[in-house]
Structure 1
Amino acid sequence: MNNNTTDNSTLQQIAHAAVEPLGFEVLEVQVQSQGGEKIVLVRVDRLDEQPVTMEDLTKASRAAEAEFDRLDPVAGEYRLEFESPGSKRPLTRARHFERMLGLKARVRGEGHAFTAPIKAVSGDQVTFDVSGQDVTVSASAVQANLAEFPDRHR
């Protein structure tokens, strides 16, 4: 299949197909260059919302590696890396915001750019407390990351 595709949505679909049956959700795929080396970074979370372990990352990586090798979606040499969401967890779905209620998120899109606590979630709508004012955005229309690390696993 190697048609020099490095489109993130294609890579995300390939990773998703490989790891979702194992109980993982692909949160984000990035293609990075580090010292001239191409890296495909995949951030995953467990569908059961338990903490991601090293064993989980190994299992997900092996499954995705086989699929990436079979489909060969990236031109040239690259390294496939898997990470847990970490402190800058991408928030891409309403349920991600709901899980992090009360914590600060960094939000960009729909004419907004702010960092504020997540106040409420209703359907796809997420409300933030921005300097005492409610600002509501569509979860699917913005880019957001967790801006503070929770004191316990959520």
Structure 2
Amino acid sequence: MTKLQKLQDLLAPIVEALEFQCWGIEFLSQGRHSVLRIYIEHEDGITVDDCELVSRQLSAVLDVEDPVSGEYTLEVSSPGMDRPLFTLDQFSAFIGQNAKIKLRAPIEERRHFQGLIRGIEEDDVVIQVDNYEYLLPFELIEKANIVPNFD
């Protein structure tokens, strides 16, 4: 089990008990300046007070359980307009939207893709870049974000 999965298993139930959805978790290991970022979602939107409430609850659990060694900053945030995508279900919910995707390893000699999410085929994300469709294996996706449309 990965560190992120352990954090998800520990923290998501707390977020959900507070009646929010745990959209996703990022851990950015940057030496002494690491960041644990928790994205929360709610059908009525997210306020600063919501983030503060969730942050206090998570801090208490993190202090007791101590799942992350060393110093880090805890951030609780809304996914925002350029929301990161963490699961195949999230990709599926945003079919027809544009996304930027970075892979852990290259496919067809490239790691960066920006285009229209066309669908999901088994464990692959289908993205259309210009007039070509790529099947990107979900397990190779390092980072993915929706590209906001301001039209």
Q: Give your verdict on TM over 0.5.
A: yes
- Structure with higher RCO (Cα < 8 A, 6+ apart): 1
CA contact (8 A) 2:85 2:146 kept: no
* Counterpart for residue 94 of structure 2: 100
CA RMSD of aligned residues (A): 3.0
Q: Aligned partners of 2:129 and 2:140: how far apart in 1?
A: 18
- Are residues 31 and 137 of structure 1, via their aligned partners in 2, closer, same or farther at CA, if it must alter by over 3 Å? closer
Gaps of 5+ in 1: 1-6
Q: 1:107-137 CA distances to partner (integer Å, 9 max, x unpaired)?
A: 2337433111112245644321122122233
The TM-score with structure 1 as length reference comes to 0.71
Aligned partner of 2:127: which letter? F
| CA deviation after TM superposition for structure 1 residue 82, in Å | 0.8
Deviation at 1:57, TM superposition (A): 1.3
Q: 2:149 and 2:34 mapped to 1: Cα distance? A: 32
**What are structure 2's unaligned runs of at least 5 residues?**
none
Map of 1:103-114 to 2, 5 A cutoff?
103-109=97-103, 111-112=106-107, 113=111, 114=113
* Matched residue, 2:26: 29
Aligned to 1:63: 57
Amino acid at match of 2:41: D
Q: Is the 8 A contact 1:126 1:136 kept in 2?
A: yes
* Contact 1:106–1:145 (CA under 8 A) maintained in structure 2: yes
Cα pair 1:97 1:118 within 8 Å, conserved: yes
The question of 1:19 aligning with 2:12 is answered no
